[in-house]
Amino acid sequence: MDQFLFFLVAFLAVASAVYFVFARNPLYAILSLIVTMFSIAGMYILLNAQFLAIIQIIVYAGAIMVLFLYILMMLNLNKADESKKGNTLKFIGVFTAGLLLVGVLGVFRGVQQNHIVVENVDRSIGLTKNLGRLLFNEYVLPFELASILILAGIVGAVLIGKKDL
């Protein structure tokens, strides 16, 4: 069941990434990129890496995609302003995808089909609880220093941006 879910989410990620490349409307392209980022977060969850999944959603699907949408709306692209994609770019894209396909097939050809059965697998690896325990026990001083540095950067950005303080 896990393998089926993984392949389903992987197919969704690849399909939305391909739609991102071939979309004519920039807004639909960015929305398909958001679907790709959420699909990658779903793959992280299926691989038992919950912290990476949450970071993927917060940083990429949240902050960066909102920034992309904001820039797109600020540019106000119309169909008359949009430049036509030439056939040379499409040819280069197809050629590069073909090279990637040949590389992937070469990798799969070199992989041996030896299945190793692992019985003593630690299922707690990658959990957020273990990361938090490590961060707040062994690395508490560097963690707090990094938070003070980030706070100083935020205060500096506000002071530079606001001239009437």
Within a domain: 45: yes
pLDDT in tens, 99-153: 888 888 877 777 666 666 667 766 666 677 887 888 888 889 998 999 999 999 9
This prediction has a pTM of 0.57
How many Å apart are CA 94 and CA 78, to the nearest integer?
27
What residues have CB less than 8 Å from 127, skipping those under 6 apart? 48, 50, 51
Q: Identify the CATH number of the domain in which residue 3 sits.
A: 1.20.120.1200
Question: Which token pair is 63?
Answer: 């902050």
pLDDT in tens, 40-69: 999 988 888 888 888 888 888 778 777 777
Q: What is the mean pLDDT of residues 78-87?
A: 58
Instruction: State the total domains in the chain.
Output: 2
Within a domain: 7: yes
Please check whether residue 19 is in contact with residue 32, taking contact to mean a CB–CB distance below 8 angstroms.
yes
Quick one: 133 and 69 in the same domain?
no
pLDDT-derived band at 86 (thresholds 50, 70, 90) equals: low
Q: How many CA atoms lie within 13 A of 103 on its CB side?
A: 6
